[in-house]
Structure 1
Amino acid sequence: MTSSYFLSSVLALILVLAISFVCCCSSMASTMDSKRSALRGGNETDRLALLAIKAQIHQDPNLPVMSSWNESNHFCMWHGVTCSRRHLQRVIKLNLTSLKLSGSISPHIGNLSFLRDLRLYNNNFTNKIPPEIGHLRRLRILGLPNNSLSGPIPANISNCFNLIILDVSHNMLVGNIPSELGSFSKLEYLDMHVNYLTGEVPPSLGNLSSLGILAAYGNNLVGTIPSSLGQLKKLKHFALHLNRLSGTIPPSIYNISSLLSFSMGFNQIQGSIPPTLFRILLNLQFFSISQNQFTGSLPLSISNATNLAVFQASGNKLTGQVPNLQKLRSLVKFYIAGNHLGSGSDGDLSFFSGLTNATQLELLHIASNNFGGTLPTSISNLSTNLAVLDVYENQLHGSIPAGIGNLVNMKQLGLFGNMFTGNIPTDIGKLSGLGRLGFHNNRLSGSLPSSLGNLTSLFLLDLQGNNFNGTIPTSLGECHSLLLLDLSRNNLGGSIPPQVIGLPSLSIYMDLSENSLSGSLPLEVGKLKNLGGLNVSNNMLSGKLPSSLGSCAILEVLVLQGNFFDGPIPPAMASLRGIQELDLSRNNLTGEIPEFLAEFRVLKQLNLSFNDLWGAVPVEGVFNSASATSVVGNTRLCGGISDLHLPKCKSKESRSPSVKLTISLISAFTLLGIAMLLTFLFLCFSKKKSKATSSSTLADSILQVSYNTLLKATDGFSVTNLIGAGSFGSVYKGVLGEDGAQVVAVKVFNMLRRGASKSFLAECDALRNIRHRNLVPILTACSSVDSRGNDFKALVYEFMEKGSLEEWLHPNIGAEDAPMNLSLVQRLNIAIDVACGLDYLHHHCETPIVHCDLKPSNVLLDNNLTGHVADFGLARFLSRLAHNVTANQSSSIGIRGTVGYAAPEYGMGSEVSTSGDAYGFGILLLEMFTGKRPTDHMFVDGLNLHKFVKMAFRERVLEIADSSLVQVRNPSQSPNDADLEECLSSILGIGVACSVESPTDRKNIGDAVSELKTIRATLVG
């Protein structure tokens, strides 16, 4: 019984333990399943928030970085997502920087409650910043720069009280700076520059006790600077320039001793610079107050700023003397132009001696002040890094120090508008890199030194308004980069050197007027094919006007008055159809007034007075306006409009019967001769037509050339005929045919260069079956061997008289034949030409063609300035790419084109597309109207030409436009500022839309053509 009971108890205990074990195992299994489930699905709130964020993002199809955001991966493994180790499955960082994303920022971003770091730099997000970001209490970094965000800065961002960095720069934000931002006790970096922010700077920003950087420049802020900002004792960089701020700078700001840079330029600030400023700001490296209304003097304490690299105070109302600068050893740039500094007496430039310690000095700009005395000899001891020295428009006298030749890296030297005397130092020829030399409106004398010919980089030489004598040195003919030459209002004599007047680079203006030059006008004047203005008036020139003047087809101004020219007005001048002002008065010209002058549609002023012209005065064109035409002093002229008050021309007497009979016979024989000639021509044409049916179209319609023919046509591929060079070869000017009737451009491929043969075939392939007025016409191809038995390949094109667009946009690069500046309408016409050519390639060819290398040097201009797209060496057929491109080929295609113009997706290995050409056209359009290359040195730290224009769009268009479009305008032909601003805004808007980073968001070339034509129609009526 006992044994049985014991056994039963043991069994019961075992059963209880077994049940407990099973339950325990079950519970553990359930727990493990729960954990596994959590690991698989993660925090549901964060996962759903990320999916909602993805839903509002558009990604570049060529860079599908968001493809990792799918259910097959845990969201902590998604691209740009970082989860916490401490709080499992919670997102703490979202970094989608520079991924070419667009769309908008989802309000669900506010559900990532553990987020500490949000970076969406360098994308193209649009719409507003969602106020839900204010829910992210743990957020420390909020980086949204370089996007297209609009709307205001949400005030409730202030709820993110842990923020250390807040960067919303380079967007399109509007409205006021929220005063609530002043609650960020931990904020160290606040950047809002280049937006459209308005209103005043809120005083509450003075509460940002940890702030080290405050940047809000490039907005439309108004009002005064709050004194509370002086409480920012940790502030290092203070930048509020390019706004509309007024009033004075509170003294408390000047007491922030931690400042390294202080920038308040281009506002409306008044007041003076505190005398003790540089005793407090001992660490200051950058100081800018240019273009304000500061008064008073420069403080003596500036000598304490031993770390100062840049000092900018131009365009104010500063007075007094410049203090000693000898301790500023780190100085690189010193701007004080456009003030009232100096006393107009000796010793004003004594501070030059102190500047000799600044061994890194590159720029010294002290022009337009009241500095007197002489230019110190210590100038020769300034830094050899000095590139710009401008002391023009002061009251300086004495001679130019001979030691100026020591400044061997000088690029710009401006001494004009003073009272300098003596000679030009001969050692000026040592400045071989000098680009601009302006000594005009002084009292310099003596002969012009032949060493000026050593300045081979010179593109502007202005010596007018002095007392120079002797002759024009022939050595100036060596200055092959010269665009503008002005030697007027001197005492120069002798003849005009053919080497000088034949400089083909001259394209802006050449003025030799008001001297004592004699002899004839050299025939070499015909080499000035790109010159805009020529003035040789009031000299003692004689002889007949050379017919070669007719080759100066770009001339707009021609002034020959006050000489002794005789003979008739040459018929060759009929080709000067762009002439706007023509003055031939006070000469000894004879003959009748040519009818072609009445056909010049853009001629605005014509002066033929005081010559010996005879016959009837036309009544058409410029002759229809008495205010625009002068013919007085020609006693044998008659007719014309009544306002000219000339006698009527005598009518011809009635002809006698014998005369009438003679005329009748002559007419009859003339008609008979014409009939016989037409019959002969018809028979010849029929014979040629029958022969054409038995030969190929190519052989009859295109020149057939050999290597020897091209060798002869280019004078042995002479350097003198070289007109350009590219990646795969060189281009020469040539003349084909025994009579030299066919002027051509011969592109010779360098067969030693890898890819040259492929480029030759690609260009042949592309140009074989395409014909369009805006594509460069190809005449023939030559594939042969040269005299040494090496492969020889060349393409022969029609020669484009006006060169490339590159030469017109950037004439200061020193290339020969650099043309004059293009007008607004001319640039617009060329832009339309290029767009039409691309539209044809993309949409109207049997097989769409992508050019792949659109840039100014590949746009050629004919005699009428019609644009032609050229160089198809990188062109590709779209259909072939779609089926035949291998992975390696795709990679090579990805880097096709030229840096700055090639679409960004090509750099990622993407295949070429028409949107890639759209990008290149957009950049080209921006370059044409801003005058800036996409590779300009100013484009650093993420700034590029597209962003530069986008930043200034609408509000500051006239500031970024090419200065020649804004400053050098003819009021009678150019739109007013409001119309010009609207026109440029529309054009640049197309450029920006074509050059966005995302290919899918770029404007179509066909749409660009339509919009540009609409702009032109509005502009020219």
Structure 2
Amino acid sequence: MELSKKHFEACCSFFLVFFSQQVFSKTPTGLVVRGNDTDQQALLQFKAKITDDQLRVMESWNSSIHFCQWHGVTCGRKHQRVTKLELQSLKLSGSLSPHIGNMSFLRVLNLLNNSFYNQIPQSIGGLRRLETLYLTNNSISGEIPSNLSSCSKLTIVRMAGNRLTGEIPAFLGFLSKLKVLSFYNNSLRGSIPPSLGNLSSLEELALTYNALDGIIPETLGRLTNLSIFLAAANAISGTLPVAMFNLSNIRFFDIGENKIQCTLYTDLAITMPYVEFFSVRGNKISGQIPISITNASNLDVLQFNDNRLSGKVPSLEKLDKLSTLQLAVNGLGHGREDWEASKAKNFFAHINILSGTIPHSIGNLSALTIVGLDFNNLQGNIPPSIGKCQSLLELTVSYNNLSGPIPPQLLGVSSMSIILDLSSNHLTGELPVAVENLKNLGQLYVSQNRLSGLLPKTLGSCVSLEKLYLDGNLFEGPIPSSLSSLRGLEALDVSNNNLSGEIPEFLVRFGALRYLNLSFNNFEGVIPSGGIFKNASATFVEGNSKLCGGIPELHMLRCNLKTSSSNSLRLKVAIIVVTLGVTLAFTCLLILWIGKKKEKQATATSVENSVLQLSYQSIVRATDGFSTQNLVGSGSFGSVYKGVLQASGAVIAVKVLNLLNRGASRSFLAECEALKNIRHRNLVKVLTAISGVDYQGNDFKALVYEFMENGSLEDWLHPLIGMNGPETARNLNFFQRVSVAIDVAHALQYLHHHCEEPIIHCDLKPSNILLNEEIVDKLN
């Protein structure tokens, strides 16, 4: 009954527009065309609804020139009637005037990337010649006008990135010429109308990030021209129509993060020869991965993760273009043949039941960058051939049954810069001295194995380490003094070993350290009382019977008189040494001040401590559709946007490259090649790189950095007059300026002397020195 009511309303709107045009377009002498003053008045009414015009675009809309010469206005030559209104990306704000419906010759309306709000006026249904409608990335609310179906010549409708509510009108199925229908990133509800299956010319249907429910209609299987189908991140349920697997023109197919329940069979025919992105992740799909998927020779990304799939993974040898394979969190696997043939640069198969050994042929996959095999049943040794994977950034094989020694060849992969996780296996032998090659590694986990011997002194060469977990092994001897160079450590766990000797004093000076576990070893002597040792909730020392002292909250035994006398003597000697000279004392105070400043630095956010796996969708969401309000800066290289990740709330900076510039893609590859091997506390951290396509099929490349709250050194040294006012002008004191100089020197020293290949910063200037919220500078 509700459907027929909408049908009736749409028909009434159509005939009302048709009738009004017949009445007002004829005179007793016959058919006449209304004067173009109608269009001029409509444009002036449009201007009157603009509430914010930062770029002063509307200033050209005045009587000094003909309205056909106004910015963004195009008229037809014959009748001087407005045919195009193109005002995209001009930082305009306001509501859409109902008078827009009077421009009856309008064919193109493009208002994308602005800040228009309120509802789309119903009068838009009167634009019978309208072919292209772009309203993407605004703040438009309300429902999609049902009488839009009266615009029978529409071929492109893009309303993504708004605040639209209500349901998708069923009468859009009457727009027989429609090629693009994009409503992603709104708040639409209800089900996908079956009538959309009548749009035989439809090439793109984008509905991702809404609140749609119901099922995917069987009728969509008739859309033989469909190239892009995106319906991820909704609440769609039911089964997946088999006919959808036979849409031979599909390039992008994404139904991930829904509630779809169906069973896949090995004999299911998937006829998608051109598909590049195929994702059914995050549903309740069971059965086996169909063998026919291996015929999709153009596949770049294949995502079956987070479902209920079982059985063997078919051989993927023919998928030469495959860069990302996600099979994680299923019940897949009965042998190594399930995955060894994969040519994925990124291979995710954690939380399955993969068994057997890691094949020696893994060394042939030289393009591998990320491998995730946690929580499986892999056995045997780690093959030394993995050392041939010289592009590897991350390897996680925790919670398996691997045994034998850690091959030195693995630790020779100097490209490893994110995580090496070998924990919770049965590895034996010593930690190889070859660990010194991992100078760029951020996190190292060898916990819960059977490793023994002394901790290698070469571990101190891993100067980029932020997390080091050695717990649950048989290591013995003291903590090497060479570890004093790991000043960026945020977490250190050596608990449950046989380590001995005194607690190193250099741990007190680790300003970034937020977790320290020394428990259940054989340490002896006095527990320090400075630095992290002042925080009982972050320091663990129990199970060391020969330790004493420390803050009362640690509940350790008090040190005896002999120890106290020894400490008193040391204090007297220290006082005498300090008083030897004023210059030396000043220097010590300056170093101490800088050390304390480093101690106060906040712990890195979760977005820096974890592996970011971002998609174009998540970047669009984080930046509010690349909203102009989030634009930080722009130039010939592209644009930089501030973004907030919805999953963690972390703030990021997104550098989107302008690929229209000659050499932009080559520059992107070169920058990625350089950045993947550099990690330093005084360099702006690159969180991840994104290379793919947007929803229009255009190439998209971006770099994601940590966001620096306090801008650049240029802003502090040379603030713009009147920006903050004299009473709030920012300034750097003497100690802060000295600290900035020291930090820049550290960054340059690292680039020149500690990178795999020396890097010369060719644009060192205050605007490229960024400061975080603690006024710690980082070189960009």
TM-score (norm 2): 0.69
Q: Is the 8 A contact 1:589 1:613 kept in 2?
A: no
Is structure 2 residue 561 aligned with structure 1 residue 593? no
Change (3 A) 1:1009 1:334: farther
Instruction: Map residues 412-427 of structure 1 onto 2, 5 A cutoff.
Output: 412-427=370-385
**Aligned position for 2:323:** 362
Q: Is the 8 A contact 2:75 2:82 kept in 1?
A: no
- CA shift, 1:451, in A, is 0.9
Aligned with residue 305 of structure 2, among 327, 337, 345: 337
Provide Cα deviations, 1:689-727, integer angstroms capped at 9, x if missing partner.
xxxxxxxxxxxx9xxxxxxxxxxxxxxxxxxxxxxxxxx
- CA shift, 1:224, in A, is 1.2
**Aligned position for 1:282:** 248
Change (3 A) 1:82 1:575: closer
Aligned with residue 411 of structure 1, among 352, 355, 369: 369
Change (3 A) 1:809 1:543: closer
State the AA in 1 paired with 2:528.
Answer: P
- CA shift, 1:287, in A, is 0.9
Q: Is the 8 A contact 2:73 2:86 kept in 1?
A: no
**Aligned position for 1:931:** 652
Query: Residue 188 of structure 2: SS of its match in structure 1?
Result: coil
Q: Distance in 1 between matches of 2:204 and 2:381?
A: 48
Is structure 2 residue 95 aligned with structure 1 residue 133? no
Query: Residue 385 of structure 2: SS of its match in structure 1?
Result: helix
Q: Distance in 2 between matches of 1:248 and 1:217?
A: 17
Aligned with residue 495 of structure 2, among 534, 537, 546: 537
Query: Residue 561 of structure 1: SS of its match in structure 2?
Result: coil
Q: Distance in 2 between matches of 1:428 and 1:199?
A: 53
Provide Cα deviations, 1:775-811, integer angstroms capped at 9, x if missing partner.
xxxxxxxxxxxxxxxxxxxxxxx89975999996899
Is structure 2 residue 454 aligned with structure 1 residue 495? yes
Q: Distance in 1 between matches of 2:600 and 2:554?
A: 34
Query: Residue 326 of structure 1: SS of its match in structure 2?
Result: helix
Change (3 A) 1:65 1:261: closer
Q: Distance in 2 between matches of 1:263 and 1:925?
A: 23
- CA shift, 1:379, in A, is 2.5
Q: Distance in 1 between matches of 2:234 and 2:709?
A: 27
Q: Is the 8 A contact 1:554 1:578 kept in 2?
A: no
- CA shift, 1:395, in A, is 0.7
Instruction: Map residues 366-377 of structure 1 onto 2, 5 A cutoff.
Output: 366-376=327-337
- CA shift, 1:238, in A, is 0.8
- CA shift, 1:589, in A, is 2.7
Provide Cα deviations, 1:494-541, integer angstroms capped at 9, x if missing partner.
01112215522111x211111011111112232222211111111111
Q: Distance in 1 between matches of 2:153 and 2:480?
A: 76
Q: Distance in 2 between matches of 1:332 and 1:456?
A: 26
Query: Residue 427 of structure 2: SS of its match in structure 1?
Result: strand
Q: Is the 8 A contact 1:926 1:988 kept in 2?
A: no
Change (3 A) 1:1006 1:296: farther
Query: Residue 283 of structure 1: SS of its match in structure 2?
Result: coil
- CA shift, 1:71, in A, is 5.7
Q: Distance in 2 between matches of 1:203 and 1:242?
A: 20
Is structure 2 residue 276 aligned with structure 1 residue 317? no
Change (3 A) 1:319 1:488: same
Q: Is the 8 A contact 1:127 1:150 kept in 2?
A: yes
Query: Residue 654 of structure 2: SS of its match in structure 1?
Result: coil
**Aligned position for 2:674:** none
Q: Distance in 2 between matches of 1:805 and 1:74?
A: 60
Provide Cα deviations, 1:371-427, integer angstroms capped at 9, x if missing partner.
1311218735x44xx321011110111100111111212111001100101111111
**Aligned position for 2:113:** 146
Q: Is the 8 A contact 2:512 2:598 kept in 1?
A: no
Query: Residue 269 of structure 1: SS of its match in structure 2?
Result: coil
Change (3 A) 1:81 1:1007: farther
- Which has the larger Rg? 1
Is structure 2 residue 127 aligned with structure 1 residue 160? yes
Is structure 2 residue 167 aligned with structure 1 residue 210? no
Provide Cα deviations, 1:466-494, integer angstroms capped at 9, x if missing partner.
00000001111211111111111000000
The answer to which structure has the higher helix fraction is: 1
Q: Distance in 2 between matches of 1:585 and 1:231?
A: 71
Is structure 2 residue 397 aligned with structure 1 residue 439? yes
**Aligned position for 1:516:** 474
Q: Distance in 2 between matches of 1:551 and 1:85?
A: 76
Aligned with residue 232 of structure 1, among 199, 202, 212: 199
Q: Is the 8 A contact 2:644 2:652 kept in 1?
A: no
Q: Is the 8 A contact 1:362 1:388 kept in 2?
A: yes
- CA shift, 1:70, in A, is 6.0
- CA shift, 1:184, in A, is 2.0
Aligned with residue 394 of structure 1, among 352, 358, 362: 352
**Aligned position for 1:584:** 541
Query: Residue 501 of structure 2: SS of its match in structure 1?
Result: strand
Instruction: Map residues 533-932 of structure 1 onto 2, 5 A cutoff.
Output: 533-570=491-528, 573-574=530-531, 576=533, 580-590=537-547, 593-594=549-550, 597=551, 607-608=554-555, 613-614=558-559, 741=588, 802=598, 902=633, 923=642, 929-932=650-653
State the AA in 2 paired with 1:467.
Answer: H
Is structure 2 residue 423 aligned with structure 1 residue 464? yes
Q: Percent identity?
A: 31
Provide Cα deviations, 1:135-183, integer angstroms capped at 9, x if missing partner.
1222111111111000011122001111111111110011111211122
Q: Distance in 2 between matches of 1:127 and 1:46?
A: 19
Change (3 A) 1:411 1:543: same
Q: Distance in 2 between matches of 1:295 and 1:811?
A: 32
Q: Is the 8 A contact 2:416 2:440 kept in 1?
A: yes
Is structure 2 residue 145 aligned with structure 1 residue 178? yes
Is structure 2 residue 416 aligned with structure 1 residue 450? no
Q: Is the 8 A contact 1:273 1:298 kept in 2?
A: no
Q: Distance in 1 between matches of 2:476 and 2:337?
A: 39
Q: Is the 8 A contact 1:558 1:579 kept in 2?
A: no
Query: Residue 294 of structure 2: SS of its match in structure 1?
Result: coil
Query: Residue 403 of structure 1: SS of its match in structure 2?
Result: helix
Q: Is the 8 A contact 1:527 1:551 kept in 2?
A: no
**Cα RMSD (Å):** 4.3
State the AA in 2 paired with 1:283.
Answer: N
Change (3 A) 1:989 1:439: closer
Instruction: Map residues 85-96 of structure 1 onto 2, 5 A cutoff.
Output: 85-87=77-79, 90=80
- CA shift, 1:738, in A, is 12
- CA shift, 1:576, in A, is 4.8
Q: Is the 8 A contact 2:46 2:99 kept in 1?
A: no
Is structure 2 residue 268 aligned with structure 1 residue 293? no
Q: Distance in 2 between matches of 1:395 and 1:1003?
A: 64
Q: Distance in 1 between matches of 2:382 and 2:264?
A: 33
**Aligned position for 2:664:** none
Count of aligned positions: 603
Unmatched tracts of structure 2, length 5 or more: 1-34, 562-578, 611-630, 662-684, 688-706, 730-772, 774-780
Aligned with residue 306 of structure 1, among 269, 273, 292: 273
State the AA in 1 paired with 2:299.
Answer: L
Provide Cα deviations, 1:256-310, integer angstroms capped at 9, x if missing partner.
112111111111111122334333x111111111011111223644442111111
- CA shift, 1:74, in A, is 5.0
